Chains A and B, each alone.
Chain A
Amino acid sequence: MKTPISLQTHSRREWLKRTTCGMGLLALADLCQASATRRSPLASKPTHFHPSAKRLVFLHMRGGPSHMETFDYKPALYRHAGAPGRNRRGKNGKRRLVGNHWDWKRRGQSGLWVSDLLPHIAEHADDLCVLSGMHTDSGNHTPAMLQLHTGSFQFARPSLGSWVMYGLGTENANLPGFISLSPPIINGGAKNYGAAFLPAAYQGTAIGDIKTPIEKARIDHLTNQTLTRQEQRHQLDFIQSLNRRFAATDPSDSEIDGVIESFERGFTMQSELPQVMDLSGEPQPTLEAYGIGEGKATDNFGRQCLLTRRLVEAGVRHVEICDEFWDQHGKLKTGHGARAAATDQPIGAFLSDLKQRGLLEDTLVLWGGEFGRTPDTAKENLDGRDHNPQGYTMFLAGGGVKGGFQYGATDDLGFEAVENRMHLHDLHATLLHLMGLDHERLTYRYAGRDFRLTDVHGHIAKEIIA
């Protein structure tokens, strides 16, 4: 990047002084925003190539939703329900194949298979890019969650969202650029949205946690108990005058400019973030579409979805929202039924809403869990499925992926991915690619070597790109 010498060796302030020719400093400040934000670690940054998605939303179905109950139609499996399954190493249980719990239909123009478990999402079949050849390395929740989020379960690595922030910066500096709504406290906890060795500015901001309904979740230090906004502005003006005096002692130091800027951003965030978080102004039909209402099973997830729409609309780069546990080793029918009852309608409404607002074009939506489930069970009543990292399904929508498209497949029974297999590293590489980032060039030097989200792995699934 070629920058005029004056910009490299002098601060924005000094540069402003030299070039203003009598114009007011504040008036020029907006004109020079590009040069001002250049110094903030969160400033918007150029992509490696033209992106098809500007924002990324991850609808995290924690616990491992079953592909055979959702998007991976397995008639052979359903036909052979009760037939012997695969015994696992070291376990002599008599495993048997689990049959069909929900009816299946071809949906939309594309004829994509979606089961009746997810009727609302099914209505968007023509926008879905279903990845049925997913596989990952661990069949335990925590390592699998960490690998899903950071690419590694053995070492502390930056999360996907932190890499995205590091690569792209934020579109709206008045809001956090990377938000995780209701993240779990266990299963790696904050590591799943942490920056590890990347600068802390790139870490995700958690709002609430899995045990707190999003309606009750609060962000730290967002409100002042004693001062009105006007009074605080008066105080802030005094603070900024002190800051400017301090900055003036060294015109070569841009760090204090960063301090001054961070105060203005923080002050705006105090009013802007609660506004974005406040759903009370949403019209009743919208609330109903998302399933928001006291006592409704969809209330909490509906709120998260609507909040996510408002956040991405306001320019937040990456939002992850998290559902409770899709982990039904037993009572699959009621368990998955309950999870779907809580999430299907909100997700359907979310996709409709994004589309209607023209946001789906450049917002990439990812749905799925840390792994899938096994076609068989050791349960006598054939109502349960166990962890399956060998083959499972996630879906993408919007953000430049093909709609009504199924990529990859598991074997006839759903045990493992056999066709167009896509490892998590491949998914990460593809997500970054869609965001305009080359996963091999998005590196950070730490401990003497360049680190990547995908380590030494990752193939971009070009076939899924529209």
Chain B
Amino acid sequence: MGHQPSILVGIWFLATLSIQGGQTGLSFDLFERSIRPVLVEHCYECHSAEGKRLKGGLRLDTREGLRMGGDHGPVINLRDPESSRLLHALRYQNDLEMPPKGRLPDQVIEAFETWITRGALDPRTSTPTPPSDTSRERRPLWSLQPLRQPGIPTVEKADWPREPLDHFILSGLQARHLSPSPDTDPHTFLRRLTFDLVGLPPRPDEIEAFVDLATRDPDRAIEEKVDQLLASPFFGERWGRHWMDVARYADSNGQSRDVLFPHAWRYRDWVIRALNRDLPFDQFIHHQLAGDLIPARSREDRQQKQIATGFLAIGSKPLVGGNLQLDLIDDQIDAVTRSFLGLTVSCARCHDHKFDPITTADYYSLGGIFASTKTYYGGGPRRPKTVQEAAKLWLTLGDDRARSLATLKGIEAETNRLKKKEKKLRNRLKKVNRGDRTQSDGRQALQHELAETSRRLDQLSERSKSLSLVFAMGVEEAKQPSNLAIRIRGDKSKTGDTVPRGFLKGLPHPVTHKIREGTSGRRELALWMTDPANPLTARVAVNRIWAHLFGVGLVRTVDNFGTSGESPSHPNLLDHLARRLVERNWSVKSFIKALVCSRTYRQASTYQGEAHQTDPENRLLWRFHRRRLEVEPIRDALLSIGRRLNPQPPVASVVAAIGEGEVGRGINTKPLETPFHHRAVYLPVLRTALIGLHKTFDFPDPSSIQGRRDTTNVPAQSLFLLNSPLVIETTQALATRLGELPISPSERVRRAFLTCYGRPPSGDEGAHALQFIARHHGKGDPWQAFCQALVASAEFRYLN
């Protein structure tokens, strides 16, 4: 300090002045003269918005940046200036060296010391990075507010509503001087209802019976039909597939190593069963997150609960090139938070969420839960050679699993011991053979012992094979639960503070389910998810169901209830429905019943000019949304009209028939080529090799969570409908069946319309069809050409 006294005295003087005189122009002289030029010249290159790249997350070009610090925390400490990391760096202390090109002269460093000691006054006004959507005000996020209990609105047309939800819809319409559309005709309604609930078209005899009753007593006809469809095993197959879109279900890993999942189907079947037996939705969540930790009633029940945790294991992971543990956890956090909460928490792997109240600490505290969980995700490209190896890759089911595994372990140890012994015996035998011939007695004994050892080894191998274990994908508690350290900017090698396991602290609901010592916390996470005070879970769930029945969600971004998602069209209705779900024991079937028995669901989809002017997007639901069916009902309907559909579920899956392996690397493809007539939900989903039909009709990417499917109309679809063997065969079967009936051609046309469109021909449609059939010449059957035309045209794949 001593060699530049004059400057220092000046600095002291100025600094003192600045404090006494408040923030006057003069007070910033020290900064302007001695600090700012140094920052600009030596630091901005790496620590400013203008810099080539921002290092350590530290910005020194604004006052805020300097005060806030970087990835490693604050760089100046006004209370204890000596501990300021900025000074350490400048002095080249404590492993910090800044600027990296060379230490700055002592007097510069001293100027910084003084400046910090005197309060680090900084006149710069920050130029904050503008938020990406400036029109959005920073309001508290609607979806995080507690569920309200909205009263049922009173409406003018009191005879219209049938369900409470109708009051909300009608009052929304009336507020805009709109009226709901009239009820649709029974034919259209039955087709809508049947596809919506079971994913298949109604048969002509069912149509006739329903229409007959509906014209006399529509309410009764509908209620009976709804009950019948909800009780059908097809219901779970239809709605299970909806959940599988969200659960990113697949039969292989995808990404760079598309390793097969021959046991994933157990989770698929679990989902379908859960929906069919109306497992309450809160338990549906509990089982998927922590089924292994929930007491079971029976052995079967225990296995089912273990299988449910497959939800956490079936994601797509980078098996090479990433960091498997952290990537696996990331997939789990993403799946859990987006599917149940509608929040994109995985953004916070690298930085605090830009819009939503989710911090990096939240992410890693959730991450700790999954770090304390052992995930049986199916392993890498190396195929298991023995049952023991398989038991390490797959979750082994069953009560006597521990015993089986212990036995296996014993067998393994014994095998190793005997193998060593066998080797020794062989070596000794070799020596004896080479050496003294007089020791022939010893040789015989050795030979005998060797034969005995080999026999024992064979026995053991047989025994280990006979211990047949049942495998699934899923999770169990890790041996040692542990917390996870924050990875700075998601960089696996840069660890920050370790955070205790927990949930999202930004969610304004006070309930805490304390994670017990020695457990992962999955059980508590599940309880926290479905706690009545959690505002998101029920809202997200009812919105998903609503979207499947009404074409769009009340919140259209069904997977995103965050700031970047949309807000609800009917906030009160959403809360009313969410409460209803919770209050009626989370029953999905009874919830669906309320929706499809509503008057809103019964509306025609007919165009109305005036309403369309007011509400072109039909957000207020002045009519039913016409929409295209997904690939599964399109394909199942084709098989169904051709009487080619096998209504029984298959045993296991096509991929299970293939076994262990990897797509593109010499797997047995025969099972993939065998004709498959079970419902589409059971078709194999190989992540890098989707079947053509799936690709053509907008099957969602099974590596991503996608609660809402795209609808595109592309030439590949028309080519499929015009030329594919599946369409030609099924329509030929329909034509042949119609031809065998002792009925007139016009009656045949009527049956064909009923079968394909769920309605008889109207106006001149019948005559038009007969004309086509009469004029169609070609090698094939004109009735087939006609049936194919019905199937190919838009009405077959659209719901009115």
Contact = CB atoms under 8 A, between A and B. Distances in A.
A247 B794 contact: yes
Contact of A245 (B257, B713, B765): B765
Contacts of B355: 448
B18 interface: no
A142 to B, nearest CB: 4
Contacts of B562: 448
A243 B321 contact: no
B256 A142 contact: yes
Interface centre among A146, A238, A260, A446, by most B CB within 10 Å? A238
Nearest to A254: B713
Contacts of A187: 256, 664
B789 A235 contact: yes
Nearest to A194: B701
B185 to A, nearest CB: 12
Contact of A196 (B626, B703, B788): B703
Interface stretch (A127-135, A224-232, A302-310): A224-232
A253 B320 CA distance: 47
Interface stretch (A91-99, A199-207, A356-364, A429-437): A199-207
A140 interface: yes
A447 B710 contact: no
Interface string A179-205: 000001111111100111101110101
A221 B722 contact: yes
Contacts of B718: 259, 262-263, 265-267
B537 to A, nearest CB: 18
A412 interface: no
A252 B711 contact: no
B435 interface: no
A237 to B, nearest CB: 9
A249 B606 contact: yes
B695 interface: yes
A246 B318 CA distance: 46
Contacts of A450: 132
Contacts of B728: 225-226
A270 interface: yes
B718 to A, nearest CB: 3
B616 A246 contact: no
Given A189-B664, A232-B722, A448-B565, A226 B347 contact: no
A449 B776 contact: no
Interface residues of B, number: 82
B716 interface: yes
A256 interface: yes
Contacts of A448: 344, 347, 355, 557, 560, 562, 564-565
Interface residues of A, number: 81
Interface string A8-31: 110000000000000000000000
A84 interface: no
A75 interface: no
A29 to B, nearest CB: 17
Contact of A262 (B255, B318, B713): B713
B107 interface: no
Interface in A6-61: 8-9, 40-42
Contacts of B338: 447
Nearest to B346: A447
B664 A186 contact: yes
A422 B800 CA distance: 53
B778 A226 contact: yes
B607 A250 contact: yes
Interface centre among B321, B355, B711, by most A CB within 10 Å? B321
B653 interface: no
B477 interface: no
Contacts of B591: none
Interface in B521-563: 557, 559-560, 562
A6 to B, nearest CB: 12
Given A188-B688, A189-B664, A239-B793, A226 B779 contact: yes
Given A200-B710, A270-B719, A250 B605 contact: yes
Contacts of A194: 701
Given A185-B664, A223-B723, A235-B789, A9 B616 contact: yes
Interface in A367-403: none
B607 A249 contact: yes
A316 to B, nearest CB: 13
B695 A200 contact: yes
Interface in B699-738: 699, 701, 703-706, 710-720, 722-724, 728
A255 interface: yes
Interface string B768-787: 10001001111110000110
A457 B788 CA distance: 50
Nearest to B322: A154
B121 interface: no
B712 A241 contact: no
B798 interface: yes
A217 interface: no
A222 B789 contact: no
B794 A256 contact: yes
Interface string B550-592: 0000000101101011000000000000000000000000000
Contacts of B606: 249-250
24 contacts: A8-B616, A140-B321, A142-B320, A143-B256, A146-B256, A153-B318, A156-B701, A156-B703, A185-B664, A190-B689, A191-B255, A227-B778, A234-B775, A239-B789, A249-B606, A252-B612, A253-B607, A253-B626, A263-B722, A265-B718, A269-B719, A447-B344, A447-B559, A448-B562
Which 9 A-B residue pairs are closest in the complex by CB-CB distance?
A: A266-B718, A186-B664, A142-B256, A258-B713, A189-B688, A266-B715, A242-B793, A185-B664, A156-B703
